[in-house]
């Protein structure tokens, strides 16, 4: 005789109810059917699982041990047959302002093609870790130094810096700029999620004034209005075209590191695949 899942379910009902009649009622079976199923199980195992020598049904020592195993079998079967378990939860990927730059669409298209069972949700969150520390996302594309206890980072590459200047200005007409060329201007600084501060400039040419904003949209608006100029990653130019703003390469500013980050011990199962794909795309795009 082959032991089937119904045998495990029947025994668990008996162990729970400690009464064959009540176990039968909970399973919508007759009491003789429950007794027969229990007898088949004991014959197959070659041990007694239930002690019927008293007025109250009790489990033998072997029955108590088998109860734990039966519960494991039934739980595994229920999980395997749950339709929701056949689809992985989405991988929520945070970014503060530019995701993977011009390669963002490539990342999304390739992920959908190569990982069809796991949706990739791209979320913009305006904070330094793009929602990672707050738990709003599973992983995040971050730029610049990343601080935070329990954060793991996977280096993807570096991005050159560009200046954001008002169109029509003398700076916008230049093919390239240096930090010294920008030193006499007010500098737009995104204090929440940006990677450029006045400390980027050497002390002897450090700009005198910063215009502080809280997000990329306000940063671009400040530049377009002529209130300030800014320095950012080249990825910003690839994603954020903005009326009144021109982007010009800055030749002497240190590149910006780009990493994929996630929380240690709490990684989505598909995070390693995302890290490999993002690194490959960044490499193929020419970033170092």
pLDDT value at residue 86: 60
> In the chain, what are the domains?
5-85 (1.10.10.10), 91-158+257-285 (3.40.190.10), 161-254 (3.40.190.10)
Rounded Cα gap, residues 276 and 156, in angstroms = 9
Q: pLDDT value at position 54?
A: 60
Note the pLDDT of residue 55. Answer: 65
CB 95 within 8 A of CB 235: no
Predicted pLDDT at 7: 92
* pLDDT tens-digit readout, 228-255: 999 999 999 988 899 999 999 999 999 9
The pLDDT score that the predictor gives to residue 287 is 55
Which residues, 6 or more positions from 241, have their beta carbon under 8 angstroms from its beta carbon?
Answer: none
**Per-residue confidence (pLDDT) for residue 88, from 0 to 100:** 73
- pTM of the shown model: 0.69
Tokens 């199923």: give the residue.
37
CA-based nearest residue to 163, from 192, 183, 193, 145: 183
Predicted local distance difference test score (pLDDT) of residue 75: 85
Task: Give the per-residue pLDDT at 52.
Answer: 78
Q: Which residues of the chain have pLDDT under 50?
A: 288
């Amino acid at each position: 005789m082959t032991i089937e899942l119904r045998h495990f379910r029947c025994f668990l009902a008996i162990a729970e109810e400690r009464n064959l009649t009540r176990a039968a009622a909970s399973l919508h079976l007759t009491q003789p059917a429950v007794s027969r199923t229990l007898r088949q199980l004991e014959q197959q195992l070659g041990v007694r699982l239930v002690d019927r020598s008293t007025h109250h049904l009790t489990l033998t020592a072997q029955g108590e041990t088998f109860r734990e195993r039966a519960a494991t079998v039934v739980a595994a079967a229920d999980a395997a047959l749950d339709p929701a378990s056949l689809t992985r939860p989405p991988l929520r990927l945070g970014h503060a302002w530019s995701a993977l730059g011009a390669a963002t669409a490539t990342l999304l298209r390739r992920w959908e093609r190569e990982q069809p069972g796991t949706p990739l949700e791209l979320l913009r969150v305006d904070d330094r870790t793009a929602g990672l520390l707050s738990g709003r996302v599973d992983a995040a594309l971050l730029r610049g130094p990343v601080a935070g206890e329990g954060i793991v980072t996977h280096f993807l590459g570096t991005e050159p810096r560009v200046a954001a200047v008002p169109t029509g200005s003398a700076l916008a007409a230049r093919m390239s700029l240096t930090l010294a060329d920008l030193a006499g201007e007010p500098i737009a600084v995104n204090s929440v999620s940006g990677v450029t501060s006045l400390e980027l400039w050497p002390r002897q040419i450090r700009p005198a004034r910063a215009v502080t904003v809280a997000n990329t949209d306000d940063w671009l608006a400040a530049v377009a209005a002529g209130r300030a100029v800014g320095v950012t990653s080249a990825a910003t130019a690839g994603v954020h075209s903005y009326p009144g703003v021109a982007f010009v390469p800055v030749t002497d500013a240190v590149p910006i590191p780009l990493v994929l980050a996630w929380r240690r011990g709490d990684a989505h199962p598909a995070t390693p695949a995302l890290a490999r794909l993002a690194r490959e795309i960044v490499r193929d795009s020419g970033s170092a």
